[in-house]
Structure 1
Amino acid sequence: MTGPVLAVDQGTSGTKALVVCPERGVIGTGFAEVHPRHLPGGLVEIDPEELYRSVRDAGSRALAEAREPVIALGLANQGETVLAWDPDTGRPLTDALVWQDRRAESICTELAPHAEELQTLTGLPLDPYFAAPKMAWIRRHLTRQGLVTTSDAWLIHRLTGAYATDAATAGRTQLLDLDGAQWSPRALALYGLSDERLPEVVDNAQPVATTREFGPEIPLTGLAVDQQAALLAQRITEPGGAKCTYGTGAFLLAHTGDTPRHGASGLVSCVAWRLAGHTSYCLDGQVYTAASAVRWLTDLGVIKGAADLDTLGGTVPDSGGVTFVPALAGLAAPWWRGDLRGSLTGLGLDTGPGHLVRALCEGIADQVAELADAAAADLGAPLSALRVDGGLTRSTLLMQTQADLLQRPVEVSALPDATALGVATLARLGAQPGLTIAEALPDWKPSAVYEPRITADEAAERRAGFRAEVNALLERSAERKPAEPKAGPA
């Protein structure tokens, strides 16, 4: 069975849908915006019904533009966003707690004595970024009714009636046994979730169920976390390669083969995808705020939008001594200090908007360079280059800064919607048994390659300044640190 597939990427700020034909490429597109609410105390939530409407609307628009029937549907999701819902009616019982939400910090504090055990079991550090702490928080503070899951399981149920999640998304919960790619009874017990009815863990490419939400019956055959879908679309299917997606946050993933790496670098070890029962793994590092930091600068009135990064940043030769640690939603890998807030130092009366823009770009690029170094340490070899995608790759200033600080080429993907194209590949693999990954993937080529323009010594000096500011944040936090928490459940 051949023909176009519908790929839907349900993201933090919107849902993008593509109709992808194996011969002609993208023949239909659709987009629907969503509006997370950023509340005091690090809370980020969204109406689940808005997520569902965005999936339905974006998919319908893409199909209307393509005006051709599709053979399969692929769905990519945010990964760590969770909610409680009624399995009989499909009705949400809570708002969706977005992956950036920090309200489950108290759960993590209680479980701190078991942090090492949980990381050994699941590959994930103890942090409210992941799904399990949010799931436990919902059960403790909001409702004991219905099911509590990641958003993909709810969307799949609303679309098809099935109750499933893919292996890669399950690996973002801190409830999956990383070595066996099955739910971990011990992790469930530690989180007080042993009595939960969890979704079936399925391969990333297989027939799951069918939907009529877009009109004609369409088989759902591809599922993925957004970042793993982008890794696949970037054709990083063997150990040694890495990609970074610059979206709401920035996410660097490096393929590690068919065995998980339990490294000490601070990166996450997780499932890349499971195909025909065979699991591939990756290392994953996160920067919580990238485009969201640009939006923050926009809301302050410093810039009018991301398009101003190059024009305003180009008015000055450097950051003028300003250093920006854009930990506006906490400091993620490799530090895992979500309680920290950002810092802006080195300000003077001569500091202008251009300096702030350059400092922001350097702050994002510095964090990504730290992730790349951590991946290289776990892999035992430096990355030869970094493949990148996402909206912020349109900024020449940010990409050149990234190449300079990384001291490696930065290859910008010519594929503007890598996540959707990755899940389109999975949908095609699930719909056409016998097709290889190489046959299903779109052709990859860079639209631009940025080479370092500064010396290694200058890059090291600039990165040392950033690390000094991060260390200052850590030291100030240590001075305020409360007494050690009591042990959680054994």
Structure 2
Amino acid sequence: MTAAVLAVDQGTSGTKALVICPERGVIGAGFAPVRPRHLPGGRVEADPGELYGSVLDAGRQALAAAGEPVAAMGLANQGETVLAWDPATGRPLTDALVWQDRRAEPLCAGLAPHDEELRQLTGLPVDPYFAAPKMAWIRRHLTTEGVVTTSDAWLVHRLTGAFATDAATAGRTQLLDLERVTWSPRALDLYGLSDERLPDVVDAAHVVGTTRAFGPEIPLTGLVVDQQAALLAQHLTGPGGAKCTYGTGAFLLAHTGGTPRRGDSGLVACVAWRLGGRTGYCLDGQVYTAASAVRWLTDLGVIQGAADLDRVGGAVPDAGGVTFVPALSGLAAPWWRGDVRGALTGLGLDSGPGHLVRALCEGLAAQVVELADAAAADLGSPLTHLRVDGGLTRSALLMQTQADLLQRPVEVSALPDATALGAGVLARLGAEPGLTLAEALPEWRPSAVYEPRITAEEAQERLGVFRDAVAAVLERGARP
């Protein structure tokens, strides 16, 4: 198949769409913003209509820019964002609870005695980050009508009428049996969701249905959760390296092969993708605030936006003794302490915007190092390299800081839209079953490679300062 495909990445702060031709690469692109609402009590909501509208807007922009028909469509989604909706009409019954939403913390506290059982069964710890606690919260506090699912199932239904989710997205709910890749009756029972009608769990490359939402009829043949799409696009289809996507949060994934690897490092084991009925697995670690922390600095007036990181941070040689733990939405893996708050320490009268920017870059990079070290511990060998994508990879300061603290090369994807590219690969595979994964993957090359410029001793010293700051944050969060 030489025809182009439409790849749509429905993300937290916007939807990106690409029209991708196997021979010519990206021939059309579109973007539509999404504006989640950050409310008191750790609540983060989005208007479902805005999510769907952004898919249509971005897709139509990309198709118009390409000016030619496409053979298929792939859709990547946010993963843990959920809503209730009417399956007869497709009408939303609630707002979408975004993956960052923490309102289900009391519900999770009640399930703490079952944490280890659920971790072994589903690969995931009990935490409001995942979909099941939000689904259960909706059922207890908002509505018992309709169905309650991750946002992808609703989008798929609106586009095609089908009721489906892919195995990787299902794995983000804490309702999927990780070994059998089917819905778990035990997990459903623990969350009080046994009577729910759940979507069919399908392969990532699969003819789900067809849509006329963009005009001509287009088969929907690729479904995947966002971070796994980026893992695929980065050519990380087996153990060895890892990828990190710097978006609203930062997400490190390392492929573990055909079996889940449950370690004690604090990372989660989850489905990478299921293709042709065969499941691949990965380790997954999260930093809740990356670009969202940059936006926080922007809202304070310290910088004018992410493009300012290098200019402002480059005006000073170092962080000037300032340490930033950017836990503005809590700490995710490997700590799993969503209750803690961020910390900015070491401030003096001589501290300026550049020091704050450098401290933020170090705080983000140090958290990614913690994830990489945890992945290496679970895999039993150090990661050989880190491939990165996402908007913040445009910051040379952040990427150099990452290489310095990681003490490994950091390879920046030549195309920042890795999630959409991964969705495009799956769309091609689903539309042309005879195609192999190797044939469907576009050539991978880095736009830049950052090598460490400091010694391992200096890296450990800087990481030690950050770890002490995290320990203090955790201690404060533990106090009654």
Compute the displacement of 1:415 (Å). 1.5
| Distance in 2 between residues matched to 1:477 and 1:13, nearest whole Å | 29
Q: Which amino acid aligns with 1:290?
A: A
- Which residue in 2 is equivalent to 1:74? 74
- String of CA shifts for 1:260-305, please: whole Å, max 9, x gaps: 0011110010000000000000000000000000000000000000
- Which residue in 2 is equivalent to 1:288? 288
- Which residue in 1 is equivalent to 2:157? 157
| Distance in 2 between residues matched to 1:270 and 1:231, nearest whole Å | 13
- Which residue in 2 is equivalent to 1:420? 420
- Which residue in 1 is equivalent to 2:120? 120
| Distance in 2 between residues matched to 1:478 and 1:200, nearest whole Å | 41
| Distance in 1 between residues matched to 2:251 and 2:171, nearest whole Å | 16
Matches within 5 A, 1:279-358: 279-358=279-358
- Which residue in 2 is equivalent to 1:93? 93
Q: Does residue 63 in structure 1 map to residue 63 in structure 2? A: yes
- TM-score with structure 2 length normalisation? 0.99
Q: Does residue 191 in structure 1 map to residue 211 in structure 2? A: no
Determine if contact 1:19/1:29 at 8 Å carries over to the other structure.
yes
Determine if contact 1:17/1:420 at 8 Å carries over to the other structure.
yes
Q: Which amino acid aligns with 2:82?
A: V
- Which residue in 1 is equivalent to 2:261? 261
- Which residue in 2 is equivalent to 1:251? 251
| Distance in 1 between residues matched to 2:432 and 2:287, nearest whole Å | 36
Q: Which amino acid aligns with 1:80?
A: E
Q: Which amino acid aligns with 1:258?
A: G
| Distance in 2 between residues matched to 1:8 and 1:190, nearest whole Å | 34
| Distance in 1 between residues matched to 2:324 and 2:106, nearest whole Å | 28
| Distance in 2 between residues matched to 1:18 and 1:314, nearest whole Å | 33
Q: Does residue 456 in structure 1 map to residue 456 in structure 2? A: yes
| Distance in 2 between residues matched to 1:395 and 1:106, nearest whole Å | 38
Compute the displacement of 1:191 (Å). 0.1
| Distance in 2 between residues matched to 1:100 and 1:217, nearest whole Å | 35
SS at match of 1:221: strand
Compute the displacement of 1:477 (Å). 2.1
- String of CA shifts for 1:199-246, please: whole Å, max 9, x gaps: 000000011101010111111000000000000000000111200000
Compute the displacement of 1:478 (Å). 2.2
Determine if contact 1:425/1:441 at 8 Å carries over to the other structure.
yes
- Which residue in 2 is equivalent to 1:472? 472
- Which residue in 1 is equivalent to 2:201? 201
Identity %: 82
Q: Which amino acid aligns with 1:325?
A: V
Compute the displacement of 1:475 (Å). 1.4
- Which residue in 2 is equivalent to 1:361? 361
SS at match of 2:479: helix
| Distance in 2 between residues matched to 1:158 and 1:472, nearest whole Å | 47
| Distance in 2 between residues matched to 1:274 and 1:266, nearest whole Å | 24
- String of CA shifts for 1:147-179, please: whole Å, max 9, x gaps: 000000000000000000000000000000000
Q: Which amino acid aligns with 2:443?
A: D
Matches within 5 A, 1:141-180: 141-180=141-180
Q: Which amino acid aligns with 1:112?
A: A
Q: Which amino acid aligns with 1:389?
A: D
Q: Which amino acid aligns with 2:324?
A: F
Determine if contact 2:341/2:477 at 8 Å carries over to the other structure.
no
Compute the displacement of 1:416 (Å). 2.0
SS at match of 1:281: strand
Compute the displacement of 1:423 (Å). 0.5
- Which residue in 1 is equivalent to 2:384? 384
Compute the displacement of 1:473 (Å). 1.2
Determine if contact 2:2/2:21 at 8 Å carries over to the other structure.
no
- Which residue in 2 is equivalent to 1:403? 403
- TM-score with structure 1 length normalisation? 0.97
SS at match of 1:75: strand
- Which residue in 1 is equivalent to 2:231? 231
| Distance in 2 between residues matched to 1:294 and 1:151, nearest whole Å | 26
When structure 1 is superposed on structure 2, of 278-287 and 469-478 the one drifting more is 469-478
Q: Which amino acid aligns with 2:434?
A: G
Compute the displacement of 1:2 (Å). 3.6
Determine if contact 1:80/1:173 at 8 Å carries over to the other structure.
yes
| Distance in 2 between residues matched to 1:298 and 1:395, nearest whole Å | 15
Determine if contact 2:366/2:402 at 8 Å carries over to the other structure.
yes
- Which residue in 2 is equivalent to 1:6? 6
| Distance in 1 between residues matched to 2:261 and 2:163, nearest whole Å | 30
Compute the displacement of 1:384 (Å). 1.1
Determine if contact 1:415/1:444 at 8 Å carries over to the other structure.
no
- String of CA shifts for 1:56-77, please: whole Å, max 9, x gaps: 1110111111111111010000
- String of CA shifts for 1:101-138, please: whole Å, max 9, x gaps: 00010110010000000000000011000000000000
Compute the displacement of 1:434 (Å). 1.2
| Distance in 1 between residues matched to 2:307 and 2:201, nearest whole Å | 41
Q: Does residue 43 in structure 1 map to residue 40 in structure 2? A: no
| Structure 1 gaps, min length 5 | 481-490
Q: Which amino acid aligns with 2:391?
A: G
CA-atom RMSD in angstroms: 0.6
Compute the displacement of 1:330 (Å). 0.7
Q: Which amino acid aligns with 1:287?
A: V
| Distance in 2 between residues matched to 1:295 and 1:59, nearest whole Å | 26
Q: Which amino acid aligns with 1:154?
A: W
| Distance in 1 between residues matched to 2:446 and 2:55, nearest whole Å | 29
After TM superposition, what 4+ stretches of structure 1 lie above 4 angstroms from structure 2? none
| Distance in 2 between residues matched to 1:68 and 1:308, nearest whole Å | 37
| Distance in 1 between residues matched to 2:416 and 2:328, nearest whole Å | 26
Q: Which amino acid aligns with 2:348?
A: G
Q: Which amino acid aligns with 2:218?
A: I
Compute the displacement of 1:13 (Å). 0.5
- String of CA shifts for 1:81-105, please: whole Å, max 9, x gaps: 0000001110000000000000010
Q: Does residue 273 in structure 1 map to residue 269 in structure 2? A: no
| Distance in 2 between residues matched to 1:245 and 1:193, nearest whole Å | 32
Determine if contact 1:2/1:432 at 8 Å carries over to the other structure.
no
| Distance in 2 between residues matched to 1:327 and 1:473, nearest whole Å | 9
SS at match of 2:70: coil
| Distance in 1 between residues matched to 2:197 and 2:70, nearest whole Å | 33
Q: Which amino acid aligns with 1:169?
A: T
